[in-house]
Amino acid sequence: AQTVTQSQPEMSVQEAETVTLSCTYDTSESDYYLFWYKQPPSRQMILVIRQEAYKQQNATENRFSVNFQKAAKSFSLKISDSQLGDAAMYFCAADSGGYQKVTFGTGTKLQVIP
Amino acid sequence: GAVVSQHPSWVICKSGTSVKIECRSLDFQATTMFWYRQFPKQSLMLMATSNEGSKATYEQGVEKDKFLINHASLTLSTLTVTSAHPEDSSFYICSARPAPGDGHEQFFGPGTRLTVL
């Protein structure tokens, strides 16, 4: 089985500042993928960033980056220069290849304060 | 990027009727499609996984006779909520995955809001 835990139900950040969202996971697989998804009020799920477990280098997508600590099974998301449009629910997710399915965390609601 | 559509985007039905939701991958072939249910302010709960041409695999606790899933082609999967009741009211989201080896990314539909009166 695989589990994903997000311990921060809500977070807030001042516009233009940096915020980090936490996520831990557990899986018995050696080959897996980790994701951060954003769900704005429209409820459309949007992929923010993806990390392959076999890659040691942390993934980066513009203002979004991750801190992937494989031994600690931690996968945090850093949002730099936060913008009002970043306000949304953020879900951490794990996909262990053997299960052919994605497990989502409970989500973190991010508020961006102007 | 890959696009997944869902139809309808919202539906209201009477208790006891059946409702069909379509999920289409518009610009790629989806070997696997997933159906999720999301309650307000909660996470996505996987209901079932379907592979084209085979029976869906349902998650524990999901009634397969109530939530009928058909994945008849590589671009279309349908979810039919049979004999719907008010407790079936929810937001249903589908996702589609292209052929294996594509980084395991899923592409999500915009969701369907079902309200059962």
Q: pLDDT digit string (tens) for B17-56?
A: 999 999 999 999 888 899 999 998 899 999 999 888 888 9
Predicted local distance difference test score (pLDDT) of residue B98: 83
User: What is the C-alpha to C-alpha distance for residues B1 and B56, in angstroms, rounded to an integer?
Assistant: 26
- Which tokens go with B81? 């909520």
User: What is the C-alpha to C-alpha distance for residues B56 and B13, in angstroms, rounded to an integer?
Assistant: 25
For residue B103, the distance in angstroms to the closest alpha carbon of chain A comes to 8
Predicted local distance difference test score (pLDDT) of residue A96: 79
Predicted local distance difference test score (pLDDT) of residue A100: 67
Over residues B80-107, the mean pLDDT reads: 88
Do the Cβ atoms of A1 and A101 come closer than 8 Å? no
Of A33, A46, A104, the CB nearest to B44: A104
The region of weakest confidence among A11-20, B84-93, B102-111 is: B102-111
Of B43, B105, B108, the CB nearest to A50: B105
Residues of chain B with C-beta less than 8 angstroms from the C-beta of A33: 103-104
> Which residue matches tokens 């991010």?
A110
Predicted local distance difference test score (pLDDT) of residue B31: 84
**Residue B14 pLDDT greater than 70, yes or no:** yes
Extended strands (E) in B4-109: 4-7, 10-13, 19-25, 32-38, 44-51, 57-58, 67-73, 76-81, 90-97, 107-108
Of A101, A103, A105, the CB nearest to B49: A101
B44 touching A (Cβ < 8 Å) = yes
Q: pLDDT digit string (tens) for A3-23?
A: 999 999 999 999 999 999 999
At residue A84, φ and ψ (nearest 5 deg) are -55, -35
The mean predicted confidence, pLDDT, of chain B is 92
Residues of chain A with C-beta less than 8 angstroms from the C-beta of B111: 43-44
**Residue A41 pLDDT greater than 80, yes or no:** yes
Q: pLDDT digit string (tens) for A53-101?
A: 999 899 999 999 999 999 999 999 999 999 999 999 999 999 876 556 7
With CB atoms and an 8 Å threshold, state whether B49 touches A107. Answer: no
Q: What end-to-end distance do the CA atoms of chain B give, in Å?
A: 37
Predicted local distance difference test score (pLDDT) of residue A29: 85
Look at residues B112, B113, B72 and name the one whose alpha carbon lies nearest to residue B95: B112
CB contacts < 8 A (A, B) = 41
